[in-house]
Chains A and B, each alone.
Chain A
Amino acid sequence: MSKTVIKVENLSKRYRIGLKEKKADTLAQQLVNTIKYPFQNFQRIKNLGRFQEDQEEGVHWALKDVSFEVKEGEVLGIIGKNGAGKSTLLKILSKITEPTSGRIEINGRIAALLEVGTGFHPELSGRENIYMNGTILGMTKREIDRKLDEIIDFSGVEKYIDTPVKFYSSGMRVRLGFSVAAHLEPEILVIDEVLAVGDHEFQKKCLGKMEDVSKNEGRTVLFVSHNMGAVQNLCDKILIIKNGFSERIIDTNYGILNYLENNFQVADFSRSSYIEKVELLDSNQLPSNLVKSKGLVYLNIYTKIKVDLSNYDIGFFIKDKFGNKISAASTSFKKPIVGNILKSEDNLIQFILKDIKLIDDIYKVDISIVKKEGGRIEFFENILSFQVESNDFYNSGTVLNNHYGKLYLDYDYYI
Chain B
Amino acid sequence: MKTTIIEPSKGWRLIDFNELWKYKDLLYFLTVRGIKARYAQSILGIGWAIIQPLFTTLVFTVVFGNLAKVDSDGMPYILFSYLALWPWSYFSGTLTDSANSLVANAGMITKVYFPRLILPLSAIFSKLLDFMISFVILLGLLIYFQVLPGWEIIFLPVLLVQLLLTSLGIGMILSAMAVQYRDVKYALSFIVQLLLYAAPVVYSTMAVPEVWRFVYSLNPMVGVIEGIRAMFLAREVPWEWVWPGSLVSIGLFTFGLFYFRKMEKVFADVA
Contact = CB atoms under 8 A, between A and B. Distances in A.
A93 B6 contact: yes
Contact of A15 (B8, B110, B269): B269
Interface string A275-291: 00000000000000000
Interface stretch (B25-33, B160-168, B186-194, B242-250): B25-33
Given A96-B113, A114-B112, A49 B180 contact: yes
B269 A132 contact: no
Contact of A136 (B2, B110, B112, B268): B112
Nearest to A72: B1
Contacts, number: 119
B3 A100 contact: no
Contacts of B181: 45
A315 B40 CA distance: 63
A105 B3 contact: yes
B29 A109 contact: no
A119 B265 contact: no
A358 B181 CA distance: 58
B76 interface: no
Given A96-B109, A108-B1, A114-B111, A128 B8 contact: no
Interface in B90-131: 105, 107-114
A357 interface: no
Interface stretch (A137-145, A226-234, A246-254): A137-145
Interface in B180-218: 180-181
Contacts of B18: none
A104 B6 contact: yes
A104 B7 CA distance: 7
A106 interface: yes
Contacts of A92: 6
Given A98-B8, A104-B6, A118-B107, A124 B1 contact: no
A115 B2 contact: no
Nearest to A119: B108
Contact of B36 (A101, A110, A124): A124
A132 B108 CA distance: 12
A97 interface: yes
Contacts of A123: 36-37, 40-41
B23 A135 contact: yes
Contacts of B28: 135, 141
A131 interface: yes
Which among B8, B9, B111 has the greatest number of chain A C-beta atoms within 10 A? B111
Given A103-B7, A106-B3, A124 B37 contact: yes
Which among B6, B108, B181 has the greatest number of chain A C-beta atoms within 10 A? B6
Contacts of B25: 135, 139-141
B67 interface: no
B5 interface: yes
B95 to A, nearest CB: 22
Interface string A74-118: 000000000000000001111111111111111111101011001
Given A110-B4, A132-B33, A137 B112 contact: yes
B110 A135 contact: no
Contacts of B2: 107-109
B147 interface: no
B270 interface: yes
B125 to A, nearest CB: 15
The 6 closest A-B pairs by CB, nearest first: A49-B266, A123-B40, A135-B26, A95-B113, A104-B6, A97-B268
Interface of B: 1-9, 22-23, 25-26, 28-30, 32-33, 36-37, 40-41, 105, 107-114, 180-181, 265-266, 268-270
24 contacts: A45-B180, A48-B180, A48-B269, A49-B270, A96-B110, A96-B111, A96-B268, A98-B8, A102-B7, A103-B6, A103-B7, A104-B6, A104-B7, A105-B4, A106-B5, A107-B1, A108-B1, A118-B112, A121-B33, A123-B36, A123-B37, A135-B29, A138-B114, A187-B1
